[in-house]
Amino acid sequence: MVAATGRPDGAVDGNGPVSCLADGWRTARAATGPAAVADCAEPVRPGQASDGRAAAVRCRLGRGGAVCEGGVEVTVWICRTCGVEQADTTAPPERCPICSDDRQYVGPGGQRWTCTDELVAEGHRGLFEPLEPGLTAVRVEPRVGIGQRGLLLRTSEGSLLWEPPGHLDRDMVARVRAGGGLTAVAASHPHLVGAAVSWAREFGVPFFFAEHDRRWLRRPDPLVRWWSGRAEPVPGLHLVQCGGHFPGSAVLHWAAGADGRGALLVGDTVMVDADLATVSFMRSYPNLIPLPERLVRQIAGRLGELRFDRIYGGFHGSVVDRGGAAAVRYSADRYIGWLRDEITDPDEVR
């Protein structure tokens, strides 16, 4: 792991990174001021607090991905494969439940973990790319985990960050804050949660996560807002539960997007195909596990209730610019046709 930078004793000020050493702990000294930011300096044993004041502190430590619980430094571990934050602990979990599921995978090198200060040291940084008025892509290069792009949506009613990548740093936070901050954070499903809880904590805003996928949330927090069916995290922006990839898989409907024609932010509840003209549906994209006809019809039916023309997928460059509603209908019919053996390849000999 990478050692912290900053003061000679290894501690840092409230704006710098901290170490994510799995075998070291540092006490929390309560800080003054409204932010109540503490720094950790002196070694203590696991579970030991330096004093009563420190024991009561739950603090953020700069941007390093560590927090203090009862005077003991714990780390926000990030899975290297999926990029999803885990619960704050002194040592990394034995496995990532998300990657152990058949929709994901554990890489050939086995379970691997990282944290924010290590990603900073490796040169990961945020990139912001305007997509249309009010909508900006938020990417991290080199990619972290699955490598989704976040989508920052600003309206006159507020701002929502949709499924951010698994890393945030001071520059990314400063840029979002300079643009007016955030009103809410949301994600389509467990794979694309990334650093959503860290973003929610940074701005003190709710993180909307589907009730049906509750058991998959890896980093519980009081800022999590459970929802099902439909929700409106910001006036004019609607979460719609479609199911399929996960029971709680959702899209974000932005009726004013695409110059008023309507836009959908879909993650991979539906996957924008490489042709940028059609979409697909899967239980597992990396492991190529299809969805049954019943769930494809369910997704297409729920999207059919919405007015939209443009589809923004979960990854860099994945946009169906026009004809999105027709693309969903055509793609669902095509998918079901192949499942039911109703489509024949013209070169197939029977």
Map tokens 């026009």 to a residue. 322
The series of mean pLDDT values per 10 residues for the chain, 350 residues long, is 28 33 27 29 30 27 46 80 92 94 96 94 97 98 97 98 95 97 98 97 98 97 98 98 98 98 98 98 98 98 98 98 98 98 90
Tell me 189's DSSP state.
Answer: S
The three-state secondary structure class of 98 is helix
Please report the pLDDT score of residue 57 as a whole number: 26
Kindly state the helix (H) or strand (E) to which residue 162 belongs, with its residue range: strand 158-162
Please report the pLDDT score of residue 291 as a whole number: 98
Q: Which two tokens stand for residue 334?
A: 């095509």
Q: Which domains does the chain have, with CATH numbers?
A: 26-119 (no CATH), 120-339 (3.60.15.10)
Please report the pLDDT score of residue 67 as a whole number: 55
Kindly state the helix (H) or strand (E) to which residue 310 belongs, with its residue range: strand 310-313
Rounded to whole angstroms, the Cα distance separating 118 from 75 reads: 12
Q: Which two tokens stand for residue 272?
A: 């924008």
Q: Which residues of 207-238 are buried (b: 16+ CB within 10 A; e: fewer)?
A: bbbbebbeebbbbebebbbebeeebebbebbb
The three-state secondary structure class of 125 is strand
Kindly state the helix (H) or strand (E) to which residue 53 belongs, with its residue range: helix 52-55
Rounded to whole angstroms, the Cα distance separating 260 from 242 reads: 23
Please report the pLDDT score of residue 200 as a whole number: 98
